Amino acid sequence: MLFGAIAGAAAAGFLAWAVRGRSASVLAPSIWRGPKGRQRIALTFDDGPSESTPALLEILKQHNAKATFFVCGHNAARLPEILKAIANDGHEIGNHTWSHPRLDFASPAKMRDEIGRTQEIIQQITGSKPTLFRAPFGVRWFGLGAVQKEFGLTGVMWTAIGIDWKLPARAIVGRLNAAAADGAILCLHDGRVLSERPNIDNTLDAVRQLLPLLQAKHLSITSVSAMLER
């Protein structure tokens, strides 16, 4: 019985890592950091676009920084002009599902609908389909790898996450600056899931403070795909 209990605990621990571990690729191929030696760092934003995204775009423009925006299809359909503005400013757009559901226990059909609808709306608005996907809450599940492959998507996790949906700006900056190094992928949010007119003032303040700190480390602030380019 003891051996069975140990084996069960080990299996549960492995599944938990496979589902949410940032370095896990068991259920779906994904990356959580880029190569070293290029002095590049990838800035990413989830859950948008939102009515606050233009303010974020202005901050990025002031610092000549680029980013990858993992957008929800529902928000993109609601705010197509803001999605266009993201693309027109030279930022990368990734897929973050249509309605931001947790994918654990989701069927392949559910995942295909959430991801496929988002691919379609992004292409309809911007003229291009994403090649990157970030699972909501960082949760992967059985069948997701096949769905990603069907749509030509590479999964992207993160090296560090700002927890900016609840932390003050100073704490967000501290978390991300501590992890900021060559090849890191940093995760923030320009929306709050599907909320209309979300308050992201703490995120905006954090980005204003963080970008000069990253540049002081001689890091080029760019998108995920640009960081991976050889």
**Active-site positions?**
46, 189
| DSSP structure string for 11-68 | HHHHHHHHHH-TT--SSS-EESB--SSS-EEEEEEES---TTHHHHHHHHHHTT---E
Tell me how far apart the alpha carbons of residues 221 and 65 are, in angstroms, rounded to a whole number. Answer: 5
Name the β-bridge partners of 188: 45
End-to-end Cα spacing for the chain:
53
Q: State the sign of the Cα–Cα–Cα–Cα dihedral 80, 85, 88, 90.
A: negative
Rounded Cα–Cα distance for residues 227 and 222 (Å): 6
Largest alpha-carbon pair distance within the chain?
A: 62
Residue type (1 letter), 110: K
Which amino acid is located at 187 in the chain?
C
Q: Which two tokens stand for residue 167?
A: 């932390």
